[in-house]
Structure formats: C-alpha cells, structure tokens
C-alpha cells in the first residue's frame, strides 16, 4: 500500500499595521509599509511625527429636530451663514428642498422658504449660498439663482436673477464666487442649452444686474472649442481662479465690460483640477480643494498646487 504522509499545520502568521505616520496612495502592493495607511480619507492622525492611531475626524455633530421629522429622511443639501455689519450671525440650511433658519442657541429650525422660489429636492442637488453685500446669492444648479433678503423674516424674501433680456430659464453650476466686487457664476444651462465653458458676472455691488441683459455683455467663454467644462471658480484679492476636472487657470484684470478683452489668463496646473466644487474654499491666501479622486490639495494664491 502506498505510504501516506501527514502534514502538520503551519504556525499562524500574525500581520500587524500601525501606529501610522501618514497616508499613502499607491498601486504597487510591494511598497506598502506598516506605518502608512493605504488610501485613507476623512481620518485624523494626531501625531504623524511620532506615529499614532487613526481616528474619526472630530468637530462634527449630528443635528436632529422635530421640525425636520415631517420631511422624512434627513438629507442636507447645503448650509451657510450670513454675518451682518454688527456681527450678528444668521445660519441657514437646505434639507430636502426646504430652506431653514437655524437658531444655534435654542436649537430650533424654522422653515423660511421664500414664496415663488423653487429649490430642487433631488438627492443629487447641492444648494450653495454666498454672501454678497447685504444679500445672499443662492443657487441649486437646477433652477434660476436668486437673491435672499429679509433674512430675519418668516418667510425670507427671494428674488430670481434675470440672465438676459428674453428672461430665458437658466441655471448655474457649482458655487458662485465674489471677485472684484462682482458675483461670478459658471453658466450651466441657458434655455436648455449647455454652456459649461462660460462664466458670467454682475455689476460691482449689484448682483441683479449685468450678465447678458440689455446693454450688458458680462459673459466669457473660457474654452472656445467647448471641450472643457468648468467645474469650479474661486475669487481672491488678486485673481479669479477657475478649474476643470484636470486643470486650473487664473484670470487677472479689473472686472467690468471689458474683462474678456483686457484681462490676462494663465494656466496654473495641467495635471490636477478642482473637480468637486463643494470642496473649494478660500482660507486666508490659500485655496483648498479636492481632485476627482477626493484627494485634498492646497493652492497658495500666486503659486501652484
């Protein structure tokens, strides 16, 4: 009879990882090390120099309110604040197409949705609010952008922004920005036609006037061939930055009727872009943003990412 040899089970091998000193994104498993996390996002490493554990990012609190219960599933679409000249802060948020004013002292949400204004409740619709002087400019990417006034009233007052003399329906993409005293939009749809390579702006200190209205031509198609869609814009004291999914550029020049002919534009980056408009934020003299993979970047004003 053939002889059968029994095999003894091998000893267990213990695999360990951490503490960590950072995060690494790589496609080669051979260069992974135990002190680097692989492709981790939204975590905090308290001590990268001495190595530490990874923890959930702090500073976030889940708000709940009976005023929101009737709306079904809690789904925030945007949140912003307005700061008056006397320092008074008013908080607003949009949840499932409803505009709420939030009192941070009492914790009360009040439905202040303006009469005659439609806010998209779609799960894919983000709602952006940007303070512009004594008004809030609000846009949901689906309906016409509008101006909020009477912020302490219930409801607030909303006035749609007219884009052209024909009063065509229009929408803006992403978050508006302030540059040179004017409000700037990325044009999304105008009368049902896509214009994602075009920016449009208002008169200085007057968000309701300008754009393509009678006697105004405050639009600029950055990419004449239309092959690149603008995904984000950010104004600073020195330039208007614009991004696509894979590039970043800047426009420098005084805002006005001759911006397109007198301003200069230059490429800042050709291998990284501001692909996610909701992540673009200006802090001091630095623009922070995420690329199409969700990786965070920083762009010093006047520098490169």
* pLDDT (tens digit per residue) in 194-218: 999 999 999 999 999 999 999 999 9
Same domain, yes or no: 173 and 152: no
Residue whose pair of structure tokens reads 């534009």 in the numeric block: 265
**What pLDDT is stored for residue 143 in this prediction?**
98
Q: What is the mean pLDDT of residues 252-278?
A: 86
Same domain, yes or no: 153 and 191: no
**What pLDDT is stored for residue 69 in this prediction?**
47
Q: Is the pLDDT of residue 297 over 80?
A: yes
Share above pLDDT 90 across residues of the chain, in percent, rounded to a whole number: 59
Same domain, yes or no: 115 and 228: no
Same domain, yes or no: 28 and 132: no
Is the residue at 132 inside a domain? yes
- Three-class SS string for the chain? CCCCCCCCCCCCCCCCCCCECEEECCCCHHHCCCCEEECCCCEECCCCCCCECCEECCCCCCCCCHHHHCCCCCCEEEEEEEECCCCCEEEEEEECCEEEEEECCCCEEEECCCCCCCCCCCCCCCCEEEEECCEEEEECCCCCCEEEECCCCCCCEEEECCCECCCCCEEEEEEEEEECCEEEEEEEEECCEECCCEEEEEECCEEEEECECCCCCCEEECCCCCCCCCCEEEECCCCEEEECCCCEEEEECCCCCCHHHHCEEEEEECCCCCCCHHHCEEECCEEEEECCCCCEEEEECCCCC
Whole-structure pTM value: 0.79
**What pLDDT is stored for residue 211 in this prediction?**
97
Same domain, yes or no: 148 and 189: no
Same domain, yes or no: 137 and 238: no
Q: Is the pLDDT of residue 165 over 80?
A: yes
**What pLDDT is stored for residue 64 in this prediction?**
57
Q: Which two tokens stand for residue 134?
A: 């004594």
Q: What is the mean pLDDT of residues 228-234?
A: 93
Q: Residue 301 class from Cβ within 10 Å (0-12 exposed, 13-18 middle, 19+ buried)?
A: middle
Same domain, yes or no: 219 and 273: yes
Residue 145 Cα to chain centre, angstroms: 16
- Taking the C-alpha atoms of residue 256 and residue 219, their distance in angstroms, rounded to an integer, is 10
Is the residue at 242 inside a domain? yes
pLDDT in tens, 26-66: 777 677 778 888 778 778 888 888 888 888 777 766 665 55
Same domain, yes or no: 305 and 169: yes
Is the residue at 98 inside a domain? yes
Is the residue at 139 inside a domain? yes
Same domain, yes or no: 87 and 155: yes
Q: Residue 12 class from Cβ within 10 Å (0-12 exposed, 13-18 middle, 19+ buried)?
A: exposed
Same domain, yes or no: 131 and 206: no
Same domain, yes or no: 216 and 255: yes
Is the residue at 16 inside a domain? no
Same domain, yes or no: 178 and 280: yes
Mean pLDDT of all residues belonging to the chain: 87
Q: Is the pLDDT of residue 5 over 50?
A: yes
Q: Is the pLDDT of residue 74 over 50?
A: yes
Last residue of a domain, one of 160, 185, 204: 160
Q: What is the mean pLDDT of residues 166-181?
A: 97
Number of domains in the chain: 3
Is the residue at 206 inside a domain? yes
Q: What's the domain range around 46?
A: 22-56
Is the residue at 274 inside a domain? yes
Last residue of a domain, one of 160, 178, 208: 160
Q: How many CA atoms lie within 13 A of 129 on its CB side?
A: 25
- Taking the C-alpha atoms of residue 79 and residue 99, their distance in angstroms, rounded to an integer, is 10
């Amino acid at each position: 009879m053939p002889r059968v040899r029994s095999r003894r089970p091998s000893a267990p091998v213990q695999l360990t990882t951490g503490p960590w000193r950072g995060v690494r994104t790589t496609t080669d498993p051979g260069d992974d090390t135990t002190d680097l996390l692989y492709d981790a996002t939204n975590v905090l490493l308290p001590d990268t120099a001495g190595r530490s554990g990874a923890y959930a990012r702090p500073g976030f609190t889940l708000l709940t309110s009976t005023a929101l219960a009737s709306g079904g599933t809690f789904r925030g679409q945007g949140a912003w604040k307005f700061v008056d000249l006397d320092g008074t802060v008013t908080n607003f948020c949009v949840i499932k197409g409803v505009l709420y004013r939030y009192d941070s002292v009492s914790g009360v949400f009040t439905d202040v949705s303006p009469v005659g204004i439609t806010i998209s409740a779609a799960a894919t619709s983000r709602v952006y609010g940007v303070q512009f002087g004594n008004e809030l400019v609000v846009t949901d990417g689906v309906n016409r952008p509008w101006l909020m006034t009477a912020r302490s009233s219930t409801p607030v007052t909303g006035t749609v922004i007219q884009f052209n003399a024909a009063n065509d329906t229009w929408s803006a993409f992403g978050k508006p920005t302030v540059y040179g005293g004017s409000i700037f939009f990325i044009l999304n749809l105008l009368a049902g036609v896509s214009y994602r390579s075009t920016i449009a702006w208002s008169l200085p200190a007057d968000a309701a006037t300008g754009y393509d209205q009678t006697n105004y031509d405050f639009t600029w198609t950055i990419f004449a061939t239309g092959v690149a869609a603008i995904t984000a814009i950010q104004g600073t004291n020195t330039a208007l930055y614009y991004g696509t999914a894979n590039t970043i550029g800047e426009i420098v020049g005084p805002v006005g009727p001759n911006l397109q002919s007198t301003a200069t534009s230059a490429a800042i980056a050709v291998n990284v872009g501001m692909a996610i408009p909701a992540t673009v934020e200006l802090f001091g003299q630095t623009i922070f943003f995420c690329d199409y993979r969700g990786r965070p970047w920083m762009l010093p004003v006047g520098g490169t990412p």
